[in-house]
Amino acid sequence: MPITNQRVTAHRFLGGLYEDDYFPDHVVDRGREILLRLCARVEADRPAGPAELYALTHAATEEFNELEAAFEEAGSEIETTAREEIGEAFWFVAVAYGFPDADPEELIAPREW
């Protein structure tokens, strides 16, 4: 399902990580794909409230948990810069889809990074 939210389609997810050589683009690409899949799920499922949104963001956060191993294999890790960039991306998604009052920490509550 193609993403229809124009704020999302115009947004450069994880841009700061692409600009930093410490983070390998091929792994950042996988993170960007996780976020785009999250957006597609939000559009398909149309969460009625924060609880439904959190269920979707938690699933995506768990995908990032699994992606951490790929960062490590590539000589990188999800450290402070990456954590902030990823957290901001989840917040962007929440706001773009009408949830400006979502709790930024709850969006990524199951994170292991």
pLDDT digits (tens, 9 = 90+) for 24-51: 999 999 999 999 999 999 999 999 999 9
User: Would the pLDDT of 1 be above 90?
Assistant: no
Query: pLDDT higher for 1 or 57?
Result: 57
DSSP one-letter code for 13: T
- Section 74-90 average pLDDT: 96
User: Would the pLDDT of 2 be above 80?
Assistant: yes
- State residue 77's pLDDT score: 95
What CA–CA distances, in Å, run from 55 to 9, 41, 81, 105?
A: 22, 11, 25, 13
